[in-house]
Amino acid sequence: MELSERKKKVLRSVVDLYIRTAEPVGSKAVAELPDMNYSSATIRNEMAELTTLGYLEQPHTSAGRVPSASGYRLYVDELMLDYRLSIDETKSINSAIEEKMQRIDKMVENVAKLVSQATNLPAISAASRQGGGSVTRFDLILAGRGSVILVLMLSGDQVVNKLIKLPISITESDLKVLCAVLNAAMTGLVLEEFTPELMDRVMRSAGAAANLVPVIVDFTTEALRGMAATNVSVAGQSKLLGLPEYRDVEKAQRVLSSIDEDAFSNLPAVMQGANGTKVLVGPENVADELKDTSVVMTKFDIGDGLQGMIGVVGPTRMDYAKVTARLSYFAESLSKMFAKPEQPQLEEGKHEEN
Amino acid sequence: MELSERKKKVLRSVVDLYIRTAEPVGSKAVAELPDMNYSSATIRNEMAELTTLGYLEQPHTSAGRVPSASGYRLYVDELMLDYRLSIDETKSINSAIEEKMQRIDKMVENVAKLVSQATNLPAISAASRQGGGSVTRFDLILAGRGSVILVLMLSGDQVVNKLIKLPISITESDLKVLCAVLNAAMTGLVLEEFTPELMDRVMRSAGAAANLVPVIVDFTTEALRGMAATNVSVAGQSKLLGLPEYRDVEKAQRVLSSIDEDAFSNLPAVMQGANGTKVLVGPENVADELKDTSVVMTKFDIGDGLQGMIGVVGPTRMDYAKVTARLSYFAESLSKMFAKPEQPQLEEGKHEEN
DNA sequence: CTTAGCACTCAGGAAGTAAGAGTGCTAACG
DNA sequence: CGTTAGCACTCTTACTTCCTGAGTGCTAAG
């Protein structure tokens, strides 16, 4: 059943007010709104009906009304007015992205931080690859006494490397042979195709440098696994504590620790189908601890089969309009950033160990 | 002035009890302790004196006593009994380290998580390099049409790489020339020595591939900067909320957000002098928000001029004995792990971008 | 020096009260 | 018939007041 225009207006006002104040809103408060030309009594009647329809709830007789989950749902789907980002906001988002994205190996982490700052709520960011990658090219560099640098070029123009130290020394020509064998036998293979038999075969034809093969295969499979793995980061958890609904420490802790954990490693799955921004209101969340909490998420494209996702966690009474606007803008900016090759430089690799 | 043995025993008992219960401890509770062979009246007298000496405080007349900052100080320095890790504990710490350290580019982050789990408190982990690094060796690999992979070997056997895409194509021999020039002119230099003049000079002698030089220098300086930067990670913030002293959300938030920020980027400096485990009790902390909170920290060695640090943040009433024990053991295990070369593999590099 | 006893203090909980906000209903109004 | 004013009713919240119990400091006896 379709609500009357006035009912919609009242519902929207109630949600808006509740978002602002975090306190149950009464008929009087709504009636006093600038463009509300009815008396509090009329509003009262409308609110009573909205309550029986299930869009509003009252904590107790004679408190104001609070939006119910379906109230929020309706608000998000139909009622909420688009929030227009100010020039300042877009500017600050852009410059934040520019500044922080240079070292992309921390991309996920940084994005989470930025989103959290922009929304003043805890934020999640994740990147995951659809389907497994493969090695495009093997290179081996002799780096002085017993050291060999293995350089893998992976599908999606990603490059990783590893320094291998050997007890024995090895000649340049041995490496050349091995390198050729590797490129012939192992390029284009996905993770599952790295069988023990394959390794045996490669080792037999690898000549003098055969003892390098196991290390190389190990690292290669690990790199492919790493490509497939989902990278998740959470930032700004403490922002939650500033909100009145989390004055209850128990609750705050439940929510925080459920975000803290790697509970989100399968979250990108939720995003699979949906396009654009998705809003999960309170009980729509699967996790029990989040029944009282809303999540707003958006996908963005990193290109090369990489899927990015950013999201925000907050009270059911969160400023959906503003949050969705900011999130979408973020996603858009990020997608754009990854789409354009900017400089002649495109790929970069960095890593350290012991 | 030296305290009598009995006073020490009483003080220790008070601190121990307070650590356990988080409630002011009365003379009766102390007197009832198994090996306390005095009546509550005697204890009362001792406690009164300890109060005037400043080691204990009472929240109000007729509450029990609570250790003061100097009480904790004394406890940490002299009184506390060594906590012996059980075999189980050492085992679980070791297996946690083994399991999680494989991908070392996430080392700092993982260590923070592990320490937090082991202590049930928020934990900080950081790694920073003493003094700047330099490039040991440049390599350039031609990776098909217009793509060149730059591989830098840095001091400390760290290897990083970057894929450079060029609008124009380039020949293998041009690359060889450039590579030789780079190795001749730029190895062994620290960040400050990369001047515009140097770049000019290199570009002039670089031959056909000269237009690659700016990109290479950019990436090199960025890599060196990255080496110098301190890497900090915080984990388990929500653990704080489980503790009775942080039922006050305001306080919890203050503390959490002061950890959340990059407030710790200069923390390793604090560790510079001290060896072993350092305990900062409440007001000894510089940050105002932490005046009410204690920090326990330890250094560990990553080798190659890299300094690691792990720390824990908790209420002044934290189980110093247990926490220090676990932290030290962690530090020790980590140092050991980084010291032994394990496999023939020592260094590993990994990174991705767009 | 240690201990028992006692009067005193003070935080925290229970109970009761008052104030205020908001509702639902009814009746009047245009 | 939709809208509004008025009013009785409900229920929370804040503020008292009171009481209890834990713990203390002091004194005097062992």
pLDDT tens, residue by residue, B266-293: 655 666 666 678 888 887 777 777 878 8
pLDDT of residue B347: 39
pLDDT of residue B26: 94
The answer to whether the beta carbons of residues B178 and B185 sit under 8 Å apart is no
In this complex, which of A107, A141, A157 lies closest to B139 when CB atoms are compared? Answer: A141
A4 Cα to chain B: minimum distance (Å): 42
CB contact under 8 A, A143 and B153: yes
The DSSP secondary structure of A141-178, one letter per residue, reads EE-STTEEEEEEEETTTEEEEEEEE-SS---HHHHHHH
The answer to whether the beta carbons of residues B133 and B123 sit under 8 Å apart is no
B177/B205 Cα distance (integer angstroms): 9
Mind listing the pLDDT tens digit for each residue in B313-323?
Answer: 998 888 898 88
Largest CA distance in chain B: 92
- Of the pLDDT bands very low, low, confident and very high (cuts 50, 70, 90), residue B104 is very low
Sign of CA dihedral A321, A323, A326, A328: negative
* C-alpha distances out from residue B90 to A268, B309, B316, B328, Å: 36, 19, 25, 11
Look at strands A231-235 and A277-280 and give their pairing: unpaired
A96/A89 Cα distance (integer angstroms): 11
CB contact under 8 A, B241 and A226: no
B350/A149 Cα distance (integer angstroms): 12
For B306, list phi and psi in degrees, rounded to 5.
-95, 130
Portion of chain A with pLDDT greater than 70, in percent: 87
CB contact under 8 A, B162 and A345: yes
Residues 6+ apart with CB under 8 A from B99: none
- For the residues A48-65, what does the mean pLDDT come to? 91
Chain A residue numbers with beta carbons less than 8 Å from the beta carbon of B164 are: 344-347
Q: Which nucleotide is nearest to B23 (CA to C1')?
A: D22
Most confident range (mean pLDDT) of A19-28, B87-96, B199-208 is: A19-28
CB contact under 8 A, B163 and A241: no
* Residue A165 near chain B (CB below 8 Å): yes
In this complex, which of A149, A157, A223 lies closest to B151 when CB atoms are compared? Answer: A149
- In chain B the domains, ranked by start, together with CATH numbers, are 5-79 (1.10.10.10), 87-130+230-339 (3.30.450.40), 135-228 (3.30.390)
Q: Which 273-312 residues of chain A touch chain B by CB within 8 A?
A: 302-304
Quote the DSSP letter at residue B64: -
Top-confidence residue, B300 or B75: B75
- For the residues B47-56, what does the mean pLDDT come to? 94
B59/B30 Cα distance (integer angstroms): 18
pLDDT of residue B67: 93
- For the residues B34-53, what does the mean pLDDT come to? 93
Q: How many CA atoms lie within 13 A of B11 on its CB side?
A: 30
For residue A41, say whether its CB is under 7 Å from any atom of strand C.
yes
Q: The pTM is what? A: 0.76
Q: How far is the CA of A5 from the C1' of D6 (A)?
A: 28
The DSSP secondary structure of A305-329, one letter per residue, reads TEEEEEEEEEESSS-HHHHHHHHHH
In this complex, which of B235, B256, B304 lies closest to A238 when CB atoms are compared? Answer: B256
CB contact under 8 A, A249 and B249: yes
B123 has pLDDT over 90: yes
Bases in strand C with any atom closer than 7 Å to a protein CB: 2-5, 8-11, 20-26
For residue A186, say whether its CB is under 7 Å from any atom of strand C.
no
